[in-house]
Amino acid sequence: PDTLPVVEDLRVDAREVLAGTVADAVPQLRVPSADNSIWPLLSAIAVGGAFLGSIYTPWAVVWGAIPVSIGFICWFWPKGEPEDEE
């Protein structure tokens, strides 16, 4: 084809990801994406620290689960009201 397909009707005031069907890659729905957050980085550092500590002592897995759990809870905690469907 001479022209490439263009995605239309995505919001410009919020992050959205276009999801499509598996077999045909036909656009199926728009999924809202999360805002910027420091929690994924802090969770990754905590998981890495737990893995590194587990080399030296198995208790690092137990104690490392605490900051990992805090990071995951803060990362996935709802940030506000869900947006209304149009």
Question: What are the φ/ψ torsions at residue 66 (nearest 5 degrees)?
Answer: -70, -55
CB distance 22 to 30 below 8 Å: no
Q: What pLDDT score was predicted for residue 58?
A: 95
- pLDDT score at 14: 81
Determine the pLDDT at residue 79. 75
Look-up of token digits 């999924």: 31
pTM over 0.85: no
Rounded distance, CA 39 to CA 16, Å?
20
Helix (H) or strand (E) holding 32: strand 27-32
* Rounded distance between C-alpha atoms, residue 47 and residue 54, angstroms: 10
Mean pLDDT by runs of 10 across the 86 residues of the chain is 73 83 82 84 97 96 96 86 57
